[in-house]
A and B are shown apart, each in its own frame.
Chain A
Amino acid sequence: MVMPGIETTTGRADDRRMLAESVADFARRATDMARVRKWRGQSPGFDRGLWREMAALGWTGLLVPERFGGSGLGLTEMAVVSRGLARALTPEPLVACAVLAARTLVHCQNEALGAELLPRIADGKLIAALAWQEQAGDLGGGALATRCTQSAGEAVVNGSKRFVAGAAGADGFIVSAQGASGMQLLWVPANAAGVSLDLQPLADGRFSGLLAFKDAKLPQRHVLASGEVARAALDRAVDEATVMASAELLGVMSRALEMTLDYLRTRVQFGRTIGSFQALQHRAVDLFVQEQLSSAVLDDALAAIDERPDDPATAAQVSRAKARCSDAASLITRQAIQMHGAIGFTEDSDVGLYVKRALTLCAWLGNSAYHRRRFARLAPDDSE
């Protein structure tokens, strides 16, 4: 697929522009703040009909290899979609399903289950979620309390999983569990016996899942991967989703900054627009600096993960992106409240919707403090 020369890069740039236009067009046509408000706290928190439309546009299969019915594009293209949809606060669980879960499936290299599940994710019929976390602040390094044992030729899962993104409305879960010989990843249909799901409301009106397994019995062929393969699949998919969450944060902060600048240009106090006050102008510039840094760092992380997925330095780049985008989105959305004044603190103002989406995205997949520590651990001494 790699073609030499400049044509490829400009060709890709044109493709991305067209993709960005189609995402913006979709956001204008298919969603608005009234819809975002309507789904808040209403299970499953998003519109399955719109999900199918997004699948028809190719977005749920964007990262699915062509042989499994997807388009096999890169994270850079997916970031265009994630960022564009996040600008409109679209609540559909695209990153949770089409990145985190789908990419885990891809990296498990399980041909049979891949062929069964991935085409259905690509065509929007199957929503999958990854259930791997058990403790706050543990993104995969710690010991697993969830166990997978063997009984009468079946895999039996006991334990529980927290913070499951996209759990509401999911048709099945990829679950990590401690097996006899290391970690295993299993495919668990949502309706399997012994599986129970508690939906927990998030600040932004979406849901995360608390998933419990009590002697949940699964056929052996539902074991997606074991040991090192499973560990590597998980690590890589989590990194990919972390970059996508960063792209979403960029979309959220960009729109919040635009709204704030618009307000500064139009709100009149003391007989002049408040955007003419130098104190606010300089603060706005500082927000713009953070947004531009985020965008530059994200581009570098995307290039790294698309072009050098096996390079150990890539994981450090991922942490760099999530740390910067989280901090920048926090700062910008907080300042959006401040510069809107009291109206920014009201339920009626859309500012709050952006603040809350930023809150959940910042905490998801490792907050900035987590990623700063991870960067320190991963980055070679002479890096950058």
Chain B
Amino acid sequence: MSDWNELSDEAFRKEVRRFFETNYPQELRFLSRRLRWSECKPWYLTLSKQGWIAPAWPKEYGGMALSPAKQIIMVEETERCGIGRMPDQGITQVGPTIMRYGTQAQKQKYLQPIIDGEHVWCQGYSEPNSGSDLASLQTTAVREGDSWVINGSKIWTSMSMDASHMYILVRTDRNAPKKQEGISFMLLDMKTPGITIRPIRNIAGHEEFSQVFFDNVRTPAGALVGELNKGWTIAKALLGFERLGIGSPRRPRYAFTRLEKVARSRGLMDDPAFADRFVQLRLDLADLASLYGRYVEQVRRGETLGPDVSILKIWSMELNQRVSELLLEAAEEKSMYEGALDFDGEEVDVLAPFYMSRPGTIYGGSNEIQRNIVSKDVLRLPAK
């Protein structure tokens, strides 16, 4: 099939479902952690071989050029089948950025290896002293002859141990009148000398993120994407779609399935006080799906998402925490134990959803930052 758009939505959904069900490994379904590249590379390559790895990309770069409606179908089927999140930054972030802002040479150098799974990308945004105030970042790139020389440090870099490349925001003008105006967007090979990775163990004990140090890292002049000092604009353009992804009902729905299992196993549904709180969360989740559907519909129509999409992230991630807290309560003494426990023949790790839910209100712009954005750009509340 050269053009999947020719199929009806229903026929396409059926085909996607069949392919996912047949080919995605059982043992990697509905995992409560992120997949390492070594685990999910076979699936990445399977999708790549099928021609499905980049649904949104144009065909000339190896994508499916899929209609927005059918892209949504793929996302829905991915969630339905419990397919874990792969290192997808190359497909969702770097590729589209290079297509829009990159040079011909950059397109030739970087796009095909993403499709082929040869390059795995990570994001270099946050720094130890630039978290919520991202635009204050201090990692510098200084031009020396044909190279950029990078010094500084990035932190909370997810899956950097698996990444071959990093897209990075660096300060290229210290004297710009506004802090947002001296930032550039660059591409970096992680094998370049001078890069050190220090994995950081998270609260759940997993090494999913790290701090990355840059000590006179020399990268060719061709590393710059778009105009010099205009990197903030590129980064901002990437954030809206990220918030739609984070705001999907997927995470709280997963936690809710765990809650339901534990609650039924412990007979809590017969307790009216518990049942009322349970149904409240169930409604919160169903209502999130309605709100999410609205934004998906906007994307389906080809519209750009506005700053109001932040409310989806706020609601989804806080709901995820409410669900995981009720799960701890429902498990009572059993919430003291690390690892999976037996509930009526099914293994449930009651702490995993709790741990997983905590960073959700911090990453992708903390929920406090999201509220600042909505307050300023949607509700038009004054600065002073």
Contact = CB atoms under 8 A, between A and B. Distances in A.
Contact of A288 (B278, B289, B311, B384): B311
Contacts of A372: 276, 279-280, 283
Contacts of A286: 371
B378 interface: yes
Contacts of B378: 288
Interface in A369-383: 369, 372-373, 375-376, 379, 383
Contacts of A297: 286-287, 290-291
Interface in B256-292: 275-276, 278-280, 282-283, 285-291
Contacts of B370: 285
Contacts of A18: none
A109 interface: no
A324 interface: yes
B294 interface: yes
Contacts of A35: none
Contact of A289 (B293, B315, B372, B380): B315
B336 interface: no
A375 B287 contact: no
Interface in B329-384: 368, 370-372, 374-375, 378-384
A136 B224 CA distance: 69
Most buried by B among A272, A275, A284, A285: A285
Contact of B381 (A275, A300, A324, A369): A275
A353 to B, nearest CB: 23
Is chain B's binding surface mostly helix, strand, loop or mixed? helix
Contact of B294 (A261, A285, A299, A320): A299
Nearest to B288: A293
B379 A273 contact: no
B77 interface: no
B282 A376 contact: yes
Contacts of A292: 291, 308, 311
Contact of B371 (A261, A273, A285, A383): A285
Contact of B283 (A275, A276, A300, A375): A375
A278 interface: yes
A348 interface: no
A296 interface: yes
A375 B279 contact: yes
Given A293-B287, A296-B291, A284 B381 contact: yes
Nearest to A273: B382
Chain B CB within 10 Å, residue with most, of A282, A369, A383: A282
Contacts of A276: 381-384
A296 B283 contact: no
Interface string A21-49: 00000000000000000000000000000
A253 interface: no
A296 B371 CA distance: 20
A288 B372 contact: no
A320 B287 CA distance: 8
Interface string A305-338: 0000000000000001001100000000000000
B314 interface: yes
B314 A289 contact: yes
Nearest to A376: B279
Interface in A144-164: none
A384 interface: yes
A188 interface: no
B8 to A, nearest CB: 14
Contacts, number: 96
Given A264-B381, A276-B384, A369-B276, A320 B374 contact: no
Contact of A376 (B275, B308, B315, B375): B275
B371 A282 contact: yes
A12 interface: no
Contacts of A272: 382, 384
A281 interface: yes
Nearest to B310: A285
A373 B289 contact: no
B291 A284 contact: no
A288 B287 contact: no
Nearest to B375: A281
Contacts of A275: 381-382
Contacts of A282: 368, 371-372, 375
A282 B318 CA distance: 14
A320 B314 contact: no
A140 B374 CA distance: 43
Interface string B289-307: 1110110000000000000
Given A285-B314, A285-B375, A292-B291, A320 B382 contact: no
Nearest to B279: A376
A265 interface: yes
A284 to B, nearest CB: 6
A323 B283 contact: yes
Most B Cβ at <10 Å: residue of A265, A286, A289: A289
A261 B280 contact: no
A324 B315 contact: no
A46 B142 CA distance: 74
Given A372-B279, A376-B279, A300 B293 contact: yes
B294 A296 contact: yes
Contact of A384 (B280, B289, B371, B382): B289
Residue of B249, B288, B371, B380 with most partner-chain A CB within 10 A: B371
Contacts of A296: 287, 290-291, 293-294
Given A288-B374, A292-B308, A372-B280, A265 B314 contact: no
A250 to B, nearest CB: 13
A323 B289 CA distance: 16
A293 B291 contact: yes
Contacts of A281: 371-372, 375, 379, 381
A293 B290 contact: yes
Given A375-B283, A383-B286, A265 B374 contact: no
**What are the 3 tightest A-B residue pairs by CB atom distance, in nearest-first order?**
A281-B375, A384-B286, A296-B290
14 contacts: A261-B380, A264-B381, A265-B380, A265-B381, A276-B381, A276-B384, A280-B381, A282-B371, A285-B375, A286-B371, A297-B291, A324-B283, A324-B287, A375-B282
Interface of A: 261, 264-265, 272-273, 275-276, 278, 280-282, 284-286, 288-289, 292-293, 296-297, 299-300, 320, 323-324, 369, 372-373, 375-376, 379, 383-384
Given A284-B379, A320-B286, 10 more contacts: A273-B384, A275-B382, A281-B375, A282-B375, A285-B370, A285-B374, A288-B378, A289-B314, A292-B291, A379-B282
